[in-house]
Amino acid sequence: MKRNLKTWLALAFVAALLVLFIRPNYRQGAPSLRGAPAVNFAFTLDGKAAHLSDLRGKVVLLNFWATWCPPCVDEADSLVALQKKIAPLGGTILGISQDQDEGAYEQFLAQHHVDYPNYRDPDAKIPRSYGTTMIPETYVINREGKLDRKIVGPQDWTTPEMMSYLNSVLAQK
């Protein structure tokens, strides 16, 4: 009897894992994202209404993050350095923070000298529209507004390998 119960519990656990990885918003490594149009959304930038589509013509690294996320903090300085490298080439980073605490958000931007566009989305509606469940998560969007790559987890954005990849996307006209 105990053996049957353990077998059923093990099977239930495996089935739950399968359901977790099959669900539509788990897209890690999904090749079908490449070439799909990036989900457009509205946000406020420097007190003015803006849309992701306003950045068409630029390569955009759409980075979902939060101040309370240690891996997000780990990659912050790397993103600041990357912005300086890609801005002259027609690229930009657009940070979308999930912070509910506006003070912590503003303090983080100042402490880390974040000079690329950022928007605080305390309800996380924008990340959810992308199927984002883990942060940091970054979408590389080409000049045509199409997804090129999804990257989950913190990165050193200035490594030779990453710069080679980003330069190849930036070179596309």
What is the tens place of the pLDDT at every residue in 75-107?
999 999 999 999 999 999 999 999 999 999 999
What is the tens place of the pLDDT at every residue in 135-154?
999 999 999 999 999 999 99
Mean pLDDT, the chain, rounded, equals: 89
What percent of the chain is predicted at pLDDT more than 70?
Answer: 84
Q: Would you call 78 helix, strand, or coil by DSSP?
A: helix
Rounded Cα–Cα distance for residues 95 and 79 (Å): 10
Contact (CB, 8 A) for 98 and 135? yes
pLDDT of residue 11: 65
Rounded Cα–Cα distance for residues 157 and 134 (Å): 18
Listed range (19-28, 40-49, 80-89, 142-151) with the worst mean pLDDT: 19-28
13 pLDDT higher than 80: no
pLDDT of residue 19: 55
Amino acid at 83: Q
Contact (CB, 8 A) for 150 and 138? yes
Contact (CB, 8 A) for 39 and 46? no
Q: Which domains does the chain have, with CATH numbers?
A: 30-171 (3.40.30.10)
- Put simply, whether the predicted model's pTM sits higher than 0.85 gets the answer no
